[in-house]
Amino acid sequence: QVQLVESGGGLVQPGGSLRLSCVASGDILAINTMGWYRQAPGNQREFLATIGSDGLTNYADSVKGRFTISRDNAKKTVYLQMNSLRPSDTAVYYCTGNIRDLAMAWYDYWGQGTQVTVSS
């Protein structure tokens, strides 16, 4: 069984910063691309950023220059550094990972989400 668990969310003032973490655990043979998405109330889930096992990154235009994705392969962890936060960044943030499990199959796993609220 594979799990992704996010942490680091919370309440922050506009212009502030937060760093989200997501740890993968369980019966993992390999991890390919990892990423972050978010979903605000009444909206669809929105792509934010991905990072490959080689460190290659991709960002949505809405967060480019403000958010930075990184990973520690040894710790099976992906991070999202969020700077210059805006009230419009308020959402539940989800991590995802393309993971090969003991059944030798690749699946896209999702975490349970962590709430980020940007408000004064």
- pLDDT one-digit tens code per residue, 46-97: 999 999 999 999 999 999 999 999 999 999 999 999 999 999 999 999 999 9
* Closest C-alpha to 95, from 79, 111, 73, 76: 111
User: To the nearest whole percent, how much of the chain has pLDDT over 90?
Assistant: 95
CA distance 41 to 15: 21
In what helix (H) or strand (E) does residue 84 lie, and over which residues does it extend? none
Identify the DSSP state of 64: B
Q: Quote the CA–CA distance of 82 and 87 in Å, as a whole number.
A: 13
Higher pLDDT, 87 or 105: 87
Among candidate residues 42, 2, 38, the one with its CA nearest the CA of residue 23: 2
pLDDT recorded at residue 104: 79
Measured between alpha carbons, how far apart are the two ends of the chain, in Å? 40
